[in-house]
Amino acid sequence: MGLYKQGLNRKQQLMFPPSLEELVDENNMVRAIEAYVNTLDISSLKLKTKKSLIKDGQPAFHPKLLLKIYIYGYLNKIRSSRKLETEISRNIEMMWRTQGLTPSYKTIANFRKNNPKALQTIFREFSILIKDLKLITGDLVAVDGAYLRANASKNTLIMKKTVKKDLAKID
């Protein structure tokens, strides 16, 4: 017995390895994303996938799957489709989410590119939902952390009027 804790032997076979279901907690965010996306009427959103654009080849990934991946990335500050592809193969939450399916970065990027209006609508509704559930306050916080060297122009400063105009545009 040494001075430090010892980990498991990586080569040791486990008799009953835990399933992905056991590894993802009941209150995990991916379960909330799953429940939310499953309530959406995908046909009314007119989400386009490769299969709806091209009629030949293997079956496409379901738009709900790609949407769940995209929302997960959004909530975890993962914007890159290449990084999302990496997360799918290494992150237990994403493995649970995708059920062993592995869309490529190109598929994820094309989904984003082909559905900008639908994604805006979905994220707006999702933001309203979590605000209604009191998971966020909806208060505006604007912080300008720019370091300027005595040659600030009008283009580099963020004014209160500009923020109000941008918020009106977003709404």
Residue 163 lies in a domain: no
The domain of 56 spans 20-139
Residue 134 lies in a domain: yes
Nearest 5 degrees, angle CA 161-CA 79-CA 84?
A: 165
For residue 67, which of 91, 82, 86, 46 has the smallest C-alpha distance?
46
Burial 19-53 (b: 16+ CB within 10 A, else e): eeeeebeeeeebeebbebbeebeeeebebbbbeee
User: Does 142 score more than 70 pLDDT?
Assistant: no
User: Does 5 score more than 90 pLDDT?
Assistant: no
Helical ranges in 46-143 per DSSP H: 50-53, 63-75, 81-90, 92-98, 105-114, 116-132
Contacts of 46 (CB under 8 A, 6+ apart): 118
Residue 168 lies in a domain: no
**Would you say 84 and 15 are in contact if contact means Cβ atoms under 8 Å apart?**
no
Residue 144 lies in a domain: no
User: Does 152 score more than 60 pLDDT?
Assistant: no
Q: What is the pLDDT of residues 19-53, one digit of tens each?
A: 888 888 888 888 888 888 888 888 787 777 665 55
Residue 132 lies in a domain: yes
Segment among 79-88, 100-109, 148-157, 158-167 with least mean pLDDT: 148-157
Residue 112 lies in a domain: yes
**Would you say 75 and 33 are in contact if contact means Cβ atoms under 8 Å apart?**
yes
Arithmetic mean of pLDDT over the chain: 81
pLDDT-derived band at 83, boundaries 50, 70, 90: very high
Q: Could you tell me the pTM of the whole model?
A: 0.69
